[in-house]
Amino acid sequence: MKRYLEPFENCMEKEIPYCVGDCPFHIEILNFMEKAARGSMKAAFKVYRNATGFPRIANALCDAPCQRSCPLGEQGDPVRLDLLEKAALELTADTSATDYNIPPKKEKIAIIGAGLSGMAALLRLSTKKYTVEVFEKSDRTGGHLWDILDPELFQKDFEEQLAHQDYTLHLNTEIKNLSELSGFDAVYIATGKDGQDFGLLEKAGPTGDKFCAEEQGTGYFAGGQLIGDTPLYALAGGLAVGTVIDNYLKTKSLYYPKGHKKTRMCVGMIQVKDPSPAVSAAGGSYTKEEACQEAARCVRCQCSACKDHCDLLEFMDKQPLRVRDEIVATTLEGKSELKATPAKRLMSMCNQCGICKEVCPEDIDLDGLFLLGRQKMHKQGKMPWPYHDFWLRDMAQANSEQAALLRAPKGQSACGYALFPGCQLGASEPELIVKLYDSLLNQHPDTAMFLQCCGVPLLWAGDREGFDAHMAQFHQAWEDLGQPMMIIACPTCMKHFKEYLPQIPVVSLPELLRQWDISGGCCEETYAVFDPCSARDEEGMRQAVRDLAKDLGISLETLPDNNEYFTCCGTGGHGADANLEYAEFVAKKRISESSTPYITYCINCRDTFLKQGKEARHILELIFGEGSGHQHLPTITQRQENRRVLKETLLEFFWEEQMNIERKEYPITVEISSELKEKLDEERILEEQILHTIDFCQRHGRTILDEESGTLSGYCQIGYMTYWAEYKALDEAAGKFQLVNAYSHRTKIELEAVWNGIKQEIDLQ
């Protein structure tokens, strides 16, 4: 897990915006802007005052370095933070300092010089309730400020902001030697430009921090214009030294950073299209309304690369660091009674499309963390199995004797090629596989059929061991066929083969069709190619699909978002079982990108779009002129039957073998209306499960009669699900029934005999 968690250290979700990096005071700009934009100027002022200590002086001295890095400035006017700060100051009636009730501290601090930097250090340290004494050689406070600012302005600031603080000011007291300051725990030397430095300008702390030293248990720090700061930075430095000295007194470590904190966000990360011009201050200063408008222009620069592209983060309105914390909490070992597992559903919703890592400037693999989280939950036996139950059983059917077919062509043993159509193509469009295999055999008669599931449902369910075992089996089967080149039809299978079975040579079906010159008829229509998320690293496959389409005479349009970012259709990761609304949200977002019909080369994408009413064709449908999905999508029951029929057809057609696959027989027959069949499909209930339930209820007499309608109801637990059937007996003796309704739930009904308090669980053991 460490591998996935470590890159989060560099996550820029909470990185300071560009302007804060350029601000000497590192003002909490997001906080300031939020308050200013809603017109709460007093609250905005407090943010500004907390950052600058002396707000009037800061406002008068500041030349707005923030504006130089504002992304709005690239194409227009940067946010006028200088005017906003001025407005916060002017529109706040009560600018007096807040008095905090903090117990006094015993440590004594001396400040040499009552210039701007010294006064700033005094403000911070006296607010922390240290005993502070200031030594000023002249007869007034302010130092160099007298030459550059109106004395009334800065004196008012000093007076107002220091109003609640106790300190001692020694005017007309020049310190000539530091030995005069015995008894102090820390000394701040801010004697101004060309002032006395007491040798500190040459000194450095043990970690190399300049302008600080420790002698006989006293810490000495120099700052302000003495060390070359401009007045603005002298103020900021004085405020910062308050924290430095506080830290020194608490830890005795000479940590005095002078480097400026910069944002790690790189230039160009925040793009603003057509920014509006800055609000002009009609009267020289902003009114409240003007300030609100200008603050609203700020785009609140924060890295949102993953959130801008990941559908899950958008749908759940979550930030990556929060997601990380939830996954860590959820996957921590421990009893669920003792700890929260907030990300159980969230982890299972992820589409595993990989866009998060692709767009993240720090390569944070949120997608990998989601998958690892599922695996950890699986190991602990805590995976919410119902999320993956349906697909695992579907996979079992695809890999069973009923549907799987791994065979060399008739009369051959070792093969040069093997067609791997995947498990869903044959379930959706079985005829396509027959036609495709026929075409391939015509070109290369040593092409084997490798019909089964790639095992990805196991991987997505977090069952890594099961997946590895499946891969080992797969490898063996490939060796048995003479190590053929695998022709992969499904991009998802392709992605996982390349990752987990790199030793097996693979080629994508679209590329091979081009290579072998297999093309279809003519189709003079306009389509847009929808690239599945698993084709992100498959440039050859993507191009081959486009070339195949053009060969058919198709005019192609582009999908700006999908063709650049390879967004998921919503099926990936099997997230729909964890949250159907989310899967639909994703599918709708994808189809809203263009009204042009889509060409897909993943059958899951095609089926997803058809279900949403979007016209979509698999590229093979267009090449072979087959395919009935656009007229009628098979239900989940029909899909499993399609696989059986496909196997029978393939055996008959290519191996001249008759094989009647045994279907599970029940002593009953159940009539199911087409409306109910649709409902069963939507709720992922197989007709076989209904037969099983009714048979079970009839055999055990476990039914409930509705006297009014004469219908019977009963349930049966299959796997992790409980299925309910409401039905009518048409001819009970002949085992003929009619389904009236069906539904299912995940909650298990426990111990029917434990009821009404008569029997306890223990009585049954």
Partner 1 sequence: MASNKRLICSKCECELKAMDTQFTYLDKKFRHKVLRCPKCGQVFIPEDLAKGKMAQLEKSLEEK
One residue of 55, 115, 320, 384 binding partner 1 per CB under 8 A: 384
- Number of Cβ within 10 Å of residue 153's Cβ equals 14
Task: State yes or no: residue 757 binds partner 1 (CB under 8 A).
Answer: yes
Residue closer to partner 1 (CB basis): 301 or 583: 583
The string of DSSP letters for 50-78 reads HHHSSHHHHHHH---THHHH-THHHHSPP
Helix ranges (H only) for 172-287 are 231-251
Say how far apart CA 603 and CA 436 lie, in whole Å: 15
Task: State yes or no: residue 753 binds partner 1 (CB under 8 A).
Answer: yes
- Sign of the dihedral through C-alpha 144, 149, 152, 154: negative
Residue closer to partner 1 (CB basis): 686 or 721: 721
Residues 6+ apart with CB under 8 A from 30: 17, 300, 302
Say how far apart CA 707 and CA 704 lie, in whole Å: 9
Task: State yes or no: residue 655 binds partner 1 (CB under 8 A).
Answer: no
What are 698's two structure tokens? 């009839």
Residue closer to partner 1 (CB basis): 657 or 761: 761
Residue closer to partner 1 (CB basis): 188 or 723: 723
Could you tell me the smallest distance in angstroms from the CB atom of residue 738 to partner 1? 17
- Sign of the dihedral through C-alpha 557, 562, 566, 572: negative
Could you tell me the smallest distance in angstroms from the CB atom of residue 668 to partner 1? 16
What are 730's two structure tokens? 């048409």
Residue closer to partner 1 (CB basis): 396 or 753: 753
Residue closer to partner 1 (CB basis): 354 or 384: 384
Q: Under rule CB under 8 A, which residues in 442-461 are in contact with partner 1?
A: none
Task: State yes or no: residue 693 binds partner 1 (CB under 8 A).
Answer: no
Could you tell me the smallest distance in angstroms from the CB atom of residue 569 to partner 1? 24
Which amino acid is present at 374? R
Task: State yes or no: residue 704 binds partner 1 (CB under 8 A).
Answer: yes
What are 39's two structure tokens? 């017109």
Can you say whether residue 343 is alpha, beta or left, with left for phi > 0 and alpha for psi between -120 and 50 degrees?
alpha
Strand arrangement of the beta sheet that strand 721-731 belongs to: 669-671, 736-745, 721-731, 712-718
Residue closer to partner 1 (CB basis): 102 or 338: 338
One residue of 105, 108, 379, 382 binding partner 1 per CB under 8 A: 382
One residue of 281, 299, 633, 754 binding partner 1 per CB under 8 A: 754
Residues 6+ apart with CB under 8 A from 307: 313, 314, 319, 320
Task: State yes or no: residue 712 binds partner 1 (CB under 8 A).
Answer: yes
Task: State yes or no: residue 690 binds partner 1 (CB under 8 A).
Answer: no
Task: State yes or no: residue 172 binds partner 1 (CB under 8 A).
Answer: no
Q: Under rule CB under 8 A, which residues in 332-371 are in contact with partner 1?
A: 336, 340-342, 344-346
Q: Considering CB under 8 A, how many residues would be counted as binding partner 1?
A: 41
Say how far apart CA 56 and CA 95 lie, in whole Å: 10
One residue of 152, 177, 755, 764 binding partner 1 per CB under 8 A: 755
Residue 558 has phi, psi (to 5 degrees) of -105, 155
Say how far apart CA 477 and CA 483 lie, in whole Å: 9
Could you tell me the smallest distance in angstroms from the CB atom of residue 611 to partner 1? 20
Task: State yes or no: residue 707 binds partner 1 (CB under 8 A).
Answer: yes
One residue of 338, 749, 762, 764 binding partner 1 per CB under 8 A: 749
Task: State yes or no: residue 661 binds partner 1 (CB under 8 A).
Answer: no
What are 682's two structure tokens? 């939507």
Closest CA to 200 of 187, 185, 211: 211
Could you tell me the smallest distance in angstroms from the CB atom of residue 749 to partner 1? 5
Residue closer to partner 1 (CB basis): 180 or 683: 683
Residue 721, SS3? Answer: strand
Task: State yes or no: residue 271 binds partner 1 (CB under 8 A).
Answer: no
What are 307's two structure tokens? 């959130």
> How far does the chain reach from its first CA to its final CA, in angstroms?
41
- Number of Cβ within 10 Å of residue 384's Cβ equals 18
One residue of 438, 709, 717, 763 binding partner 1 per CB under 8 A: 709
Q: CA angle, 606 as apex, 534 and 359 as ends, to 5°? A: 30
Residue closer to partner 1 (CB basis): 227 or 347: 347
One residue of 708, 731, 762, 764 binding partner 1 per CB under 8 A: 708
Secondary structure E strands in 285-423: 405-407, 417-420
Binding mask 566-605 for partner 1 (x = CB under 8 A): ------------x---------------------------
Say how far apart CA 52 and CA 645 lie, in whole Å: 77
Could you tell me the smallest distance in angstroms from the CB atom of residue 759 to partner 1? 9
Residue closer to partner 1 (CB basis): 342 or 597: 342
Segment near partner 1 (CB under 8 A), from 44-52, 317-325, 413-421, 750-758? 750-758
Segment near partner 1 (CB under 8 A), from 235-243, 421-429, 589-597, 746-754? 746-754
Could you tell me the smallest distance in angstroms from the CB atom of residue 337 to partner 1? 9
Facing residues of 222 across strands? 189
One residue of 193, 724, 728, 736 binding partner 1 per CB under 8 A: 724
Can you say whether residue 143 is alpha, beta or left, with left for phi > 0 and alpha for psi between -120 and 50 degrees?
left
Task: State yes or no: residue 765 binds partner 1 (CB under 8 A).
Answer: no
The string of DSSP letters for 654-702 reads HH-----PPPPP-S-EEE--HHHHHHHHHTT--HHHHHHHHHHHHHHT-
CB 418 within 8 A of CB 509: no
Segment near partner 1 (CB under 8 A), from 13-21, 355-363, 406-414, 742-750? 742-750
Residues 6+ apart with CB under 8 A from 289: 39
What are 644's two structure tokens? 């059986």
Task: State yes or no: residue 288 binds partner 1 (CB under 8 A).
Answer: no
Residue closer to partner 1 (CB basis): 216 or 756: 756
Task: State yes or no: residue 706 binds partner 1 (CB under 8 A).
Answer: yes
One residue of 177, 674, 756, 765 binding partner 1 per CB under 8 A: 756
Task: State yes or no: residue 748 binds partner 1 (CB under 8 A).
Answer: yes
Segment near partner 1 (CB under 8 A), from 78-86, 113-121, 687-695, 697-705? 697-705
Say how far apart CA 495 and CA 502 lie, in whole Å: 10
Could you tell me the smallest distance in angstroms from the CB atom of residue 740 to partner 1? 11
CB 244 within 8 A of CB 222: no
Q: Under rule CB under 8 A, which residues in 85-114 are in contact with partner 1?
A: none
List of residues contacting partner 1 (CB under 8 A)? 336, 340-342, 344-346, 382, 384, 578, 701-709, 712-713, 715, 722, 724, 741, 743-757, 761
